[in-house]
Amino acid sequence: MNHIQDNFEPQIVALCCYYCAYAAADLAGTSRIQYPTNVKIVLFPCTGKVDEIYMLRTFEAGADGVYVAGCLEGNCHFLTGNLRAKKRVQYAKSLLDEIGIGGERLEMYNLSSAEGQRFAEIALEMTEKIRALGPSPLNQLKLKGGVTR
Amino acid sequence: MNSKKMKEDHLEDRNEKIGAVLVVGGGISGIQASLDLANSGFKVYLVEKSPFIGGKMTQLDKTFPTNDCATCIVSPKLVECGRHLNIDKLTLAEVEEVKGEAGNFTVTIKRKPRYVDISACTSCDECSKVCPVEVPSEHNAELTTRKAIYKPFAQAYPNAYTLDKFDVAPCKLTCPVHISIQGYIALISKGKFQEAIDLVRERMPFPSICSRICNHPCEKNCRRGLVDEPMAINSLKRFLADWEMINGNGPDRTVSITHDDKVAIVGAGPAGLTAAYDLALLGYQVTVFEAQNEAGGMLTFGIPEYRLPREIIKREIDYILKLGIELKLNSRLGRDFTIQDLRGQGYKTIFLSIGAQKSRELRVEGNQLGGVFKAIEFLLNVNSGKKVDPGEKVIVIGGGNVAMDAARSAIRMGAREVQVVALESREEMPSSDEEIREAEEEGVIFNHRLGPKRILGYDGKVMGLETLKVKSVFDSDGRFNPVFIPDTESVIQTNSVILAIGQIPDLSFIQKEDGISVSSRETISVHGRTLATTAAGIFAGGDAVSGPATFVEAVASGHHAALSIDAYLRGEDPAKVVSDEEKRIIDMREDEINEKIRKGQIKKRARMEMPSLSPEQRLHNFKEVQQGFTMEMAVEEAKRCLNCGICSECWQCSKVCPPKCIHYDDQPRLEEVRVGAIILAPGYEVYDARNSPELGFGRYPNVITSLQFERLLSAAGPTGGHIERLSDGRKPQRIAFLQCVGSRDQDHGYCSSVCCMYATKEAILAREHEPDIEVDIYIMDMRAFGKGYDDYYNRAVEEYGINYIHCRPSSVKEMPKSGNLLIRYQDGKDGLKAREYDLVVLSVGIEPCNSSLSLGQKLGLKLNEYGFYQGDLFQPLVSDRSGVFVCGAFTGPKDIPESVMQASGSAALAASLLAEKRGSLIVEKVYPPERDVSTEEPRIGVFVCHCGSNIAGVVNVNEVAEYARDLPGVVYVETNLFTCSQDTIHQMQERIKEHNLNRIVVSACTPLTHAPIFQETMQGAGLNPYLFEMANIRNQCSWVHAAEPEKATEKAKEIVGMSVARAAELEPLTKFPIPLNHDALVLGGGISGMTAALNFADQGFDVHLVEREKQLGGMANRIHYIFDNRDPGDLVSSLVRMVEGQPRIHLHLNTVLKKFSGFVGNFRSTLSKKQDGAIEEEMDVEHGAIIVAVGGQEYSGPDYGYGKDERIVTQLELEERIASNNGAFKEIKDVVMIQCVGSRTKEHPYCSRICCGEAVKNALKLKEIKPDSRIFVLYKDIRTYEFMEEYYTEARNKGVIFVRYDDEHLPEVIVAGTHYGQKGEIKRERIDSDESKIQDAGDDESKRSNLLRIRVYEPILGEMLDLSADLVVLSMGVVPAAGSEDLSRLLKAPIDKDGFFLEAHVKLRPVDVAFEGIFLCGLSNYPKYIHEAIAQAQAAASRAATILSKKQLEVGGAIAEVDSEKCAACLTCVRVCPYCVPVINTDGVAQIDPAACQGCGICSAECPARAISLRHYLDKQIIHKVESLFSGVA
């Protein structure tokens, strides 16, 4: 177990909206702001489209951490999408807590498209947090051979 | 047909209108006008003077009052405009000339070169990385630097670099051989010494020699000399030469002989060797014939070793000879061979560079005496090591470098006293300054303005020199023609005289049959440009042609000759080849540099002096005197360069540019376009705070401008959003904003309109970034007059604790040591106070743009005294030239929404002028029919991009490609250097056909900028554009994981894997056309409604104009005059006349909207008309768009005793009374006006915007009627923005007294003993009234008791004022029209908390409603002046026309879709959709109109039955993508 922890590189999936979070990730790139390689982005038109199911299925598939990143509150391109997403993230966190994966592995972030630096900070913050938490319990089971896919 | 009619027809023909519009200015106004026009069927030419569109808005961090990220909202506009097929974006362009008239203009446009081919540039940034030139970044408000080749920010459009380049820097231009001097200096400043010396060598084969002996005319022209001292150009070259000797690779150019022709060069001096070098590089066989036993000519024999060590000459000549040039020494032309011999040996061309080595004779008595030397022979002997003894005392005659060499050599040969006798004064002497200075240091005595009369001798030997004084050296034409002063003889004793008075070529070799002519100056005659002599194939150059000249001129002549000879041998006319440099246009920017010096943007710094041996160390030897710069000195000196050419012509960028898209020889060009209308939106400049020196900007580092602060706040700015002081990088604790810098002052009689709000925004953001920062804003009036602005201001005070100090400090002082700043200010009755700040931000105002004035001139427009175009208040967007419309800050300082409205409005005017030509010039992209792939298995093609080195430099692209090959569904993989380059795109279409690909994955950069390019490519190959997926392995991988190439490669594989997985699940989507109704409906028949309706009709649309009253005109019926004394009544009646006469307008008076349904393009409204007997009649109308122009009304309440006394009136009532009987006002002496009645109160917290102007207008009117009337205006802030400020100033000048009050000290009106306040009657125990303070009460007791009295606290005096008045005028606010709320529900068009209709986006969609197809204007949206309402009405018409003008609507694509089988009609979707699109249909299931769906997917995520899916984001597409990430892990 310790051995796993030492070399543990979490897989983190960022569910990003098109107008702000994805654009901020692009800007982090053009500004060459470095962050860990652990984060992989999935693009959505709006975080309002990010269903709880996607969050949970991502954990089921093998993610150690997931976060939803949308526009700043009040600045959603589709007016209220990010507020809807916020509620769903809260709900999904409680489900994750209930089933023992841990709600802290899922987060919601808001940032504007000009915040490349912030995007990188979030990526780092999330990676460090999940690294400290260790592999998702689902993945630990898989490693022990407890679950077959 | 009568003749008149025929004449008209003829006219019409000639003046046929053109369906295109020129928009000048690519800021947000210009972009908006262009988009509206292009989206409603007109071709647009968008002319922008800078290299990029977007204007000032792209520099902003956030926008008020919503704190929206400016980049987020402007970028989509840039992309839309950038990709629009019918908008030609002409960047770096300016209007040169406009001919023609409305409907048919011919415009000449001057295009400045960009030097970068936009179509080929891939924005890979390689060029900017190597560019050594740094200049202040305009985008970052000069807080940082940018390169000469640059793109200002990531989202900039065009998405291509631009090279900022003047034609040529003065140093390079002056240099006879045109070395890229600024280039090598810039490279030195970056430590790129090898690149620098290579650059020198491109034009100078002798860098070591040149750097020691060049007379460097470049330094004389160096612009740095205007600041302090010229750059040490030659010393820097010397550094490079020295550096190369120690560290460099040395020149290692190899050549191969590619021409059969042999060239003979006679004379191995600098001219001959340069020509030999160039010709050898061109592939010719070259033989050099040299008379002496060593090559080098005057370099070797004329220049003493202490200036030019022998080994250096030898090394440089060896480099040249290494190119395979044959050197024949001891071969003197005329002695050892003849011209004819050379011809006989097969030399087709001969270059005569024999120099001028024969000394001129001094024709005076005694010139044959022993001890008289000729300088050249003297130096030749010294330099070839022969023993020469000049004796103890030596006189050198001459003032050139040869004289200096002779004098200094004489000292080294043992002379004790050396005197120079020169005709010239020190300044006139042709010798270089250093030489004279060093000679002086070595003890040489100078005798200026002295000439030789005769040489005295005894016994055949020199004894002395008799001299005469010189009156003048040159004649009035500047020719050498010395005049001596008679009877001024004197004698200098000497042992020898060295004559250094010039040389001539020895032309004794020329024979008659050679055919070579000789000039009157005893030099070889040549054709000036080509250096061809009179003999065919024989060229001549160097001193042999020019007479004694400088080394660098000889080298130039060598280059020249080589070009000519090459042309000659290739059979071309040399005159054509060597005439190139005459094309150059020079822009030395001397004015600009002077301006920068004046403003202190360039700091003085002395020139670096090269270390040299002391006079003692060098006196009796020939050691090299000049010791050269150290590396540190060279870099330091190089940094002094002003970069006056901007581009330094170092050529580094073109060397690394992968697509080779940089073209230095681009030239400016003129283009002509034909358009029917012109819209001017040139924008503005911010005031240069350096012009207010008392505020310290430019002197104190911690005084910055608001634009700079904006950049500091920006996450994409120079500090990444950290607020730092420029002096020490420390976070400031206390910040002061100074308002009205460059506004509301002597030179700026206007208010800049936006500064109060942006300062508030910046203060709020500062507090959000760093909650412990304290912010004070020094302000005269807080002008928060726009929608939502006062709320924002209140939040700034209440939530963010920002402190507003009502005063204007006169100066800022810097504190020693801390760099803090001290501001003294007047604090009401407390007197003078002082506060210290860490940072001071100057809220700089708005000035007309530089090009406004020239535009005004070219178009014949009358600008106001400041340079804005201040239009007619009844036609605010119409210029005084027919067919030319104006918008944005060109018409006066204004905020973004106002500019955007004007832009749309001007587009509407242009569209109505050209309505008949709509659609005539637009193009539509036509694609081949789409291939049906629905039955095919996925056949995915993956294109992996290197992006130059941007991706491939980190990620192992080949490994990624190999990985992709094995992914399921992938049938084809390739890698590209640039996938987006034109050739690759073409190739991609071939690959799609070749491999029958049905899905494309491009693994490259970001879909935000590049997806449309590839999707179009697919469409061109017959593939549905939705079968595309992009893997962003640059922005999300290589760029952010640069230090971890292995991990980055792994991640890139994962990203590509995810994209391939999703691609396999993608489905083709189609958009389909639905018909639409082209009519409009306008609700409200006031000025706004009528204006909008008329514009629709002019544009060719039918329109229903619905007014609930029985007459048109609305609120304007109650206004009788405006600022320019015009009567709005005239406007109303003319509008009514036009409306009634316009057959396209269907007028419905006494009518209201009863029912409303449908969606954009297809609305159905039920109108209900009240007939005389209150019988209602209903009718249905269909329309494609609707405009809400229902207006507003005057606030009415019991405030300040309104309704209790007929002498208490509203501003409108006052106006009505004045209009009906202004004679009555002759009796009225004292008037008190109270502002903000029903505005800025708890119940109505917003500012009604127009009341300050109303009060000032009416106060001026009363003063006009009765000049001695006394008028008090009690106000909170006077909000006379833009040019209304002038009227405010006029009112104060005419004696109107303005008294500020605040919420703690509201005024009271006392009528017959009863006190009335803001909420009506004040009921309290004891009314505190100090009768003693009542002034001007008059004598008569009865009159006194009948007086209206007003009590108000005067903050400056700190006392209560008790005023009496004949009339109290209440400035009542504006409230929404009755029924607005019901209308809002009916239309599903939201209203704000104050009851006004809400725009879709407060900045960029100011007349759109979030519900598509509905637009708004006039007071229904917010209080505004008539001219603003007119512009907004026209804007609304423009926006609606973008819909109505479409032939059909395209709907579908990535939108939501309901599976009616699953739908339980639970209404969740109906509830959650932000646009109210889903409805439950007659079948009892949810239905989503594809025309209205915005594609956010909120409904789909919320639907409990999962009955709604969002196309293109189907569950399987998302989940498969996510799962693929882990498929290799488990």
Q: What ipTM does the predicted assembly reach?
A: 0.96
Binary contact (A115, B1510; C-beta < 8 A): no
Binary contact (A23, B1041; C-beta < 8 A): no
Find tokens 């920017």 and name the residue: B589
Min CA distance, A82 vs chain B (Å)? 9
* Residue A76, φ and ψ in degrees, nearest 5: -60, 135
> Which residues of chain B have a pLDDT value below 50?
1-13, 580, 582-583, 1326, 1329-1342, 1529-1530
Binary contact (B69, A113; C-beta < 8 A): yes
Query: Among B70, B715, B1035, whose Cβ lies nearest the Cβ of A118?
Result: B715
Min CA distance, B715 vs chain A (Å)? 5
Binary contact (A112, B72; C-beta < 8 A): yes
Residue B449: DSSP 8-state: S
- Taking the CB of residue B930, how many other CB atoms lie within 10 A of it? 16
Binary contact (B1501, A72; C-beta < 8 A): no
Two structure tokens written together for B1374: 């504006």
What is the biggest distance separating any 2 CA atoms in chain A, rounded to whole angstroms?
A: 47
- Going along B364-410, which residue ranges are E strands? 372-374, 393-397
Q: Check residue A4 and give its pLDDT.
A: 47
Query: Among B1006, B1474, B1515, whose Cβ lies nearest the Cβ of A80?
Result: B1474
Residue B1170: DSSP 8-state: E
Binary contact (B1496, A48; C-beta < 8 A): yes
* Residue B825, φ and ψ in degrees, nearest 5: -150, 160
Q: Check residue B1055 and give its pLDDT.
A: 97
Binary contact (A84, B1501; C-beta < 8 A): yes
Residue B588: DSSP 8-state: -
Kindly report whether the peptide bond that precedes residue B158 is cis, defined as omega within 30 degrees of 0: yes
Binary contact (A81, B1472; C-beta < 8 A): no
Nearest CA in chain A to B155: A27
pLDDT-derived band at A145 (thresholds 50, 70, 90) equals: low
Report the Cα–Cα distance between both ends of chain A, in Å, rounded: 21
**pTM score, two decimals?**
0.85
Find tokens 């993508």 and name the residue: B1521
CATH 3.40.50 describes domain A10-143? yes
Binary contact (B1522, A13; C-beta < 8 A): yes
Q: Is B860 on the interface with A (CB under 8 A)?
A: no
Nearest CA in chain A to B1527: A61
Contacts of A30 in chain B (CB under 8 A): 154, 1035, 1039
Q: Check residue A6 and give its pLDDT.
A: 59
- Taking the CB of residue B990, how many other CB atoms lie within 10 A of it? 10
What residues contact B1236, with CB distance under 8 A and at least 6 apart? B1247, B1248, B1251, B1275, B1276, B1371, B1373
Q: Is B1516 on the interface with A (CB under 8 A)?
A: no
Binary contact (A63, B1526; C-beta < 8 A): yes
Q: Check residue A1 and give its pLDDT.
A: 39
- CB contact at 8 A, A69 and A17: yes
- CB contact at 8 A, B1091 and B1129: no
Strand partners, B705: B842
Contacts of B1044 in chain A (CB under 8 A): 37
Strand partners, B1510: B1456
One-letter amino acid identity for B196? A
What residues contact B1013, with CB distance under 8 A and at least 6 apart? B980, B985
Binary contact (B1008, A23; C-beta < 8 A): yes
Two structure tokens written together for B122: 């891939």
Min CA distance, B1515 vs chain A (Å)? 8
Contacts of A71 in chain B (CB under 8 A): 72
Two structure tokens written together for B1047: 């991990």
Nearest CA in chain A to B1493: A78
Closest by alpha carbon to B1435, among B893, B682, B679? B679
Binary contact (B1496, A37; C-beta < 8 A): no
Contacts of B1472 in chain A (CB under 8 A): 80, 84
What residues contact B1359, with CB distance under 8 A and at least 6 apart? B1333, B1353
Min CA distance, A59 vs chain B (Å)? 10
Binary contact (A26, B1496; C-beta < 8 A): no
Q: For the stretch B1080-1089, what's the b/e string if a residue is b when 16 or more beta carbons lie within 10 angstroms of its beta carbon?
A: bbbbbbbbbb
Contacts of B1495 in chain A (CB under 8 A): 45
* Order of strands across the sheet that contains B839-844: B703-705, B839-844, B734-741, B774-779, B803-806
Binary contact (B1040, A11; C-beta < 8 A): no
Binary contact (B1035, A61; C-beta < 8 A): no
- Taking the CB of residue B1174, how many other CB atoms lie within 10 A of it? 6
**What is the spatial distance between Cα B723 and Cα B254, in angstroms, rounded to a whole number?**
56
- CB contact at 8 A, B388 and B382: yes
Query: Among B714, B1047, B1055, whose Cβ lies nearest the Cβ of A40?
Result: B1055
Two structure tokens written together for B10: 């003829």
Helices and strands in chain B, H and E counts? 45, 69
Contacts of B1035 in chain A (CB under 8 A): 25-26, 28-30
Chain A interface mutation, best of B1494, B1518, B1519, highest count of A Cβ atoms under 10 Å: B1518
What is the C-alpha radius of gyration for chain A, rounded to an integer number of angstroms? 15
- Please count the residue pairs, one from chain A and one from chain B, whose beta carbons lie less than 8 angstroms apart: 174
Q: For the stretch B782-802, what's the b/e string if a residue is b when 16 or more beta carbons lie within 10 angstroms of its beta carbon?
A: bbbbbbbbbbbbeebeeebeb
Binary contact (A115, B721; C-beta < 8 A): yes
Q: Is B71 on the interface with A (CB under 8 A)?
A: yes
Query: Among B714, B1044, B1502, whose Cβ lies nearest the Cβ of A37?
Result: B1044
Cβ-in-10-Å burial (0-12, 13-18, 19+) of B12 comes to exposed
Find tokens 């024969």 and name the residue: B358
Nearest CA in chain B to A81: B1498
Two structure tokens written together for B173: 């231009």
Binary contact (B1498, A48; C-beta < 8 A): yes
**What is the spatial distance between Cα B1333 and Cα B1338, in angstroms, rounded to a whole number?**
13
Overall average pLDDT of the A25-52 stretch:
94
Chain A interface mutation, best of B714, B1026, B1036, B1510, highest count of A Cβ atoms under 10 Å: B1036
Q: Which DSSP helix (H) or strand (E) runs through B1017?
A: helix B1007-1020
Q: Is B1526 on the interface with A (CB under 8 A)?
A: yes
